[in-house]
A and B are shown apart, each in its own frame.
Chain A
């Protein structure tokens, strides 16, 4: 492996490139109850990895432990090792605030701040000190909105409250907000489940464009969405990682019977 850092892009994958994030025997406890058992998963850089499985199987729990959002839940305990590049993110020396700037998150229900559209996107860069001048901030906000596919719809009303947008627009605003901090990884927890099919299609297209520059992990209930959007898929069931691999392999030729049952609709 060469020592110079070469960035991978989706059109030019580096063979045997180190994974962006790794889960190593990850377990999660809510109080006494164990929700996730022994998960080993590698997240490949600049690709979309989807986590699928029936309700309550632990996929959202795993996603949340990737940026330590589980820390905010009382009584939640994570065992095992999760690494971003090569650093263990649960190491005490890691600042969780910096981690969350590098690993962004988009939630299931759109939750823009009750501030103006501009402020929504500018808040992250401001608190992390990413921009040095007002002009830089303007540029960053505009480009984030453009990349989230929202620019044309809001360019003349940046001072209006973010909560005044439609559901699909709000979710795109949340995506713009998440990418404004220039994260390396973008976590998406069922981002389209609260949206209509057209808004869903817009966001799926967006995800495909975003993977050029970001590593994306998406939790989804819809297998069709996983098949459309992701390159790698991981199937969870009852807290265990049952099977993972290339998306087309999982959906056309699953190795495990449980995976087969889920995909054909017999369980879940």
Chain B
């Protein structure tokens, strides 16, 4: 306070003489300029983020609804079980020609003559081939349904689904389009009958891979990614934390440990595809593990995540003040007791954050998984981590290679699912960090 008083009196006494130049104008201008740069940088970043999100969401949100056709289906005994063998030969129910049943049902609803072959071919394209499994489920569950007529909700074929969502360019000439004008008129007719609905597309999350977009889903990819995340968590966390504790608290400081530290830092920067090559050479070729298995994918991702966890853990351990360690050692705790009873609990928030960030990165990795074969077409859920599966980012990659319009929206939809998971994991990391942060 006395300084300010002195300065003001000094200034007053010098007021008549030349005023001292503190360079205020320039400093204020520099500060304003810096603030402007900061705000501009943030704005540019946010703008790019907004553009990215908008482009993905605008293309992908339609993937979450699926056009369905509800029509009364006649479970004709004539078509399903002509010779009435179902009592002795249940296989006859499994191999019946269900697509024809579906086609006939739609034709009846439209009032089209069943004998009109050309029309029937066009109607065949209405209903997804996946209706085979839906109808088969109904009949094998309750064979008494044969001979009755029931309303069934069937999935529309992908091209019709796209047409219904307005994604087909109708200005193109009819022979260059995937849906004909006649099919579009029939679609209108069914809509007016109230047979068309667009319920939420749970199939996107539960179906396995399929060449037909309407029956393709992320189910296998989600399970595969889940298995791999579990393996990474179970392996990388204990190994990484133990290695870090040893390097930080117990190892002597000599050139050898310096060498190890430099290598770990380098490993964190190695491109992920190199880990894929490593996985291929060691796990698949040398150890003979099954290709495309989440186990191998998990092991490769573990190797990739280890350096991240080790570095985060070391930073967390270093941030614990030395006074805590001295206090613990001073009352006769052994080194191990000091680390586990005092240092580790205080380092836990940092370790958790590093682990979750490492896991989030592993969730989004594609390149190493491509090399170990998780880019396969897997239609059935894997029951163990040793069976072939795929991963979420890899599934996205595979769908981008497909040409059909319906796969385009599904790719964006899958990207949205992936982004939601990543956002959730990062939010979890922040919440856990805030909750466990302690003051000392």
- Is B192 an interface residue when CB atoms closer than 8 A count as contact? no
**With A114-B438, A123-B341 known to touch, is A107 a contact of B332 (CB < 8 Å)?**
no
B333 shortest CB reach to chain A, Å: 6
- Is A69 an interface residue when CB atoms closer than 8 A count as contact? yes
Cβ A113 vs Cβ B342 within 8 A:
yes
B399 shortest CB reach to chain A, Å: 50
- Is A174 an interface residue when CB atoms closer than 8 A count as contact? yes
Cβ B331 vs Cβ A107 within 8 A:
no
**With A97-B333, A113-B342, A114-B439 known to touch, is A107 a contact of B328 (CB < 8 Å)?**
no
Quick one: closest B residue to A68, CB to CB? B329
- Is A234 an interface residue when CB atoms closer than 8 A count as contact? no
Cβ B330 vs Cβ A107 within 8 A:
yes
- Is B324 an interface residue when CB atoms closer than 8 A count as contact? yes
Cβ B326 vs Cβ A123 within 8 A:
no
- Is B346 an interface residue when CB atoms closer than 8 A count as contact? yes
Cβ A177 vs Cβ B326 within 8 A:
no
**With A69-B326, A74-B253 known to touch, is A114 a contact of B334 (CB < 8 Å)?**
no
User: For the complex, what is the distance from the CA of A98 to the CA of B333, rounded to whole Å?
Assistant: 9
Q: Residue B329 contacts which of A69, A98, A112 (CB distance < 8 angstroms)? A: A69
- Is A67 an interface residue when CB atoms closer than 8 A count as contact? yes
Quick one: closest A residue to B320, CB to CB? A114
Q: Which of A112, A113, A177 has the most CB of B within 10 A?
A: A113
Cβ B334 vs Cβ A97 within 8 A:
yes
Q: Which of A104, A109, A114 has the most CB of B within 10 A?
A: A114
In the assembled complex, which residues on chain B have CB atoms less than 8 Å from the CB atom of A128?
Answer: 332
In the assembled complex, which residues on chain A have CB atoms less than 8 Å from the CB atom of B383?
Answer: none
In the assembled complex, which residues on chain B have CB atoms less than 8 Å from the CB atom of A99?
Answer: 332
- Is B2 an interface residue when CB atoms closer than 8 A count as contact? no
- Is B259 an interface residue when CB atoms closer than 8 A count as contact? no
- Would you call the interface of chain A mostly helix, strand, loop, or mixed? helix
Cβ B253 vs Cβ A97 within 8 A:
no
Q: Residue B328 contacts which of A109, A113, A174 (CB distance < 8 angstroms)? A: A113
A137 shortest CB reach to chain B, Å: 15
Cβ A124 vs Cβ B326 within 8 A:
no
B-facing mask of A15-33, CB < 8 A → 1, else 0? 0000000000000000000
- Is B43 an interface residue when CB atoms closer than 8 A count as contact? no
Cβ B333 vs Cβ A114 within 8 A:
no
**With A74-B253, A163-B439, A163-B440 known to touch, is A111 a contact of B326 (CB < 8 Å)?**
yes
User: For the complex, what is the distance from the CA of A109 to the CA of B342, rounded to whole Å?
Assistant: 18
**With A111-B323, A114-B438, A163-B440 known to touch, is A178 a contact of B330 (CB < 8 Å)?**
yes
Cβ B329 vs Cβ A107 within 8 A:
no
Quick one: closest B residue to A100, CB to CB? B332
B-facing mask of A96-128, CB < 8 A → 1, else 0? 011111001101010111100000000110011
In the assembled complex, which residues on chain B have CB atoms less than 8 Å from the CB atom of A123?
Answer: 331, 333, 341
Cβ A114 vs Cβ B346 within 8 A:
yes
User: For the complex, what is the distance from the CA of A109 to the CA of B440, rounded to whole Å?
Assistant: 13
A-facing mask of B327-371, CB < 8 A → 1, else 0? 111111110010001100010000000000000000000000000
Q: Residue A69 contacts which of B330, B333, B439 (CB distance < 8 angstroms)? A: B330
- Is A46 an interface residue when CB atoms closer than 8 A count as contact? no
Cβ B332 vs Cβ A72 within 8 A:
no
Q: Residue A104 contacts which of B326, B331, B438 (CB distance < 8 angstroms)? A: B331
- In B297-329, the 8 Å CB interface with A consists of 323-329
In the assembled complex, which residues on chain A have CB atoms less than 8 Å from the CB atom of B328?
Answer: 113
In the assembled complex, which residues on chain A have CB atoms less than 8 Å from the CB atom of B438?
Answer: 114
User: For the complex, what is the distance from the CA of A1 to the CA of B327, rounded to whole Å?
Assistant: 38
B180 shortest CB reach to chain A, Å: 74
Cβ B330 vs Cβ A67 within 8 A:
yes
In the assembled complex, which residues on chain B have CB atoms less than 8 Å from the CB atom of A74?
Answer: 253
Cβ A113 vs Cβ B332 within 8 A:
no
B320 shortest CB reach to chain A, Å: 10
Q: Which of B323, B332, B346, B438 has the most CB of A within 10 A?
A: B332
Q: What are 17 A-B interface contacts by the 8 Å CB criterion? A: A72-B326, A72-B329, A74-B253, A100-B330, A100-B331, A100-B332, A101-B332, A105-B331, A109-B323, A111-B324, A113-B324, A114-B438, A114-B439, A123-B331, A127-B341, A163-B440, A181-B332
Question: Hey, which bits of chain B sit against chain A, CB under 8 A?
Answer: 253, 323-334, 337, 341-342, 346, 438-440
Q: When A and B form their complex, which 9 residue pairs have the shortest distance between CB atoms, in order from nearest?
A: A101-B332, A100-B332, A111-B323, A124-B331, A105-B330, A111-B327, A114-B440, A97-B334, A97-B332
